[in-house]
Homo-oligomer: A and B are copies of this chain.
Amino acid sequence: MLSQAKQKWIRSLELKKFRQEQGLFLAEGSKCCLDLLELLPCRFLAATTDWLETHPGLRAAEIVEASTEEIRKASLLKNPQEVLAVFETPSYEPTAEGLNGKLSLALDNIQDPGNLGTILRIADWFGIRNVICSIGTVDAFNPKTVQATMGAIGRIRLSYTDLPAFLDSVQLPVYGTFLEGEILYDANLQNEGIIVMGNEGNGISKAVETLVTNKLFIPDFPIGATGSESLNVSVATAIVCSEFRRRARMKF
């Protein structure tokens, strides 16, 4: 049984304040919970009897059987699933040396939780392990982002830091997309460096722009012919990451 106190505790994890105080976050749905159970310590799991029977041998500090109705009351989703679980929030401290030899992603004030989730899923797909977020970026452990990452949030080494100061400390190329940048497909792309993606409305901030060493542009087709002024930030992230990885494959 999922007590009312536990329901309330679970719902409290919708708020960043409570997530940070407790160092915990909520995941919902079978795929997401099962993926994260392989990756992170699970503090609490509530699921229907059916789900628990089909998934024996789970590792969690506490497991309770709950009715569909109890899960619905605890859930933050419009369409509650048959399982939800509370995990310990992983914590990483980015170091400049830790990024050497790797391709990493930096996010400069991404605001939309869904965009952030999609970006983390893209990073995971393209083998980008480290994602460094500016302090102003939306909290990745909010339920919408966790849901949108489809488990990728447990595989990415995610950190929040003073982004301009951090970028200033690294000795790697820093890439960013700008309308006046070099055409992505023609630019010299190394397989080591940091790709910065900017805010949905304002793009890359001035403080970060001065630290970008390689400005890139995703050309429309034919160049200048379209009416659209920009691409969604997660779409742009996908195109840039794909091109970096295409080049890396050519060098094998």
Q: Which residues of A contact B (CB under 8 A)?
A: 35, 118, 121-122, 124-127, 150-152, 155, 185, 218-222, 225-229, 231-232, 234-235, 238-239, 242-243, 245-246, 248-249
Collect the chain B residues with CB atoms within 8 Å of residue A243's CB: 242, 246
- 17 pairs across A/B with beta carbons < 8 Å? A35-B227, A118-B232, A121-B231, A122-B231, A124-B226, A124-B227, A125-B228, A126-B220, A126-B226, A127-B222, A127-B226, A150-B228, A155-B227, A185-B246, A231-B238, A238-B239, A243-B246
Give the nearest-CB partner of A229 in chain B. Answer: B150
In the bound complex, CA of A150 to CA of B225 (Å): 16
**A232 contacts which of B121, B229, B246, B248 (Cβ < 8 Å)?**
B121
In the bound complex, CA of A239 to CA of B126 (Å): 12
Collect the chain B residues with CB atoms within 8 Å of residue A228's CB: 121, 124-125, 150-152
Closest 6 CB pairs of A and B: A127-B221, A221-B245, A235-B238, A239-B242, A185-B246, A124-B228
Give the nearest-CB partner of A240 in chain B. Answer: B242
In the bound complex, CA of A155 to CA of B220 (Å): 14
**A151 contacts which of B150, B227, B238 (Cβ < 8 Å)?**
B227
Collect the chain B residues with CB atoms within 8 Å of residue A122's CB: 231, 235
In the bound complex, CA of A231 to CA of B13 (Å): 27
Collect the chain B residues with CB atoms within 8 Å of residue A151's CB: 227-228
Query: Given A125-B220, A127-B222, A221-B126, do A118 and B235 touch, yes or no (CB 8 Å)?
Result: yes
In the bound complex, CA of A232 to CA of B219 (Å): 22
| A249 close to B219 (CB less than 8 A) | yes
Collect the chain B residues with CB atoms within 8 Å of residue A226's CB: 124-127, 155
The smallest beta-carbon distance between A38 and chain B, in angstroms, is 8
Collect the chain B residues with CB atoms within 8 Å of residue A248's CB: 221
In the bound complex, CA of A226 to CA of B121 (Å): 10
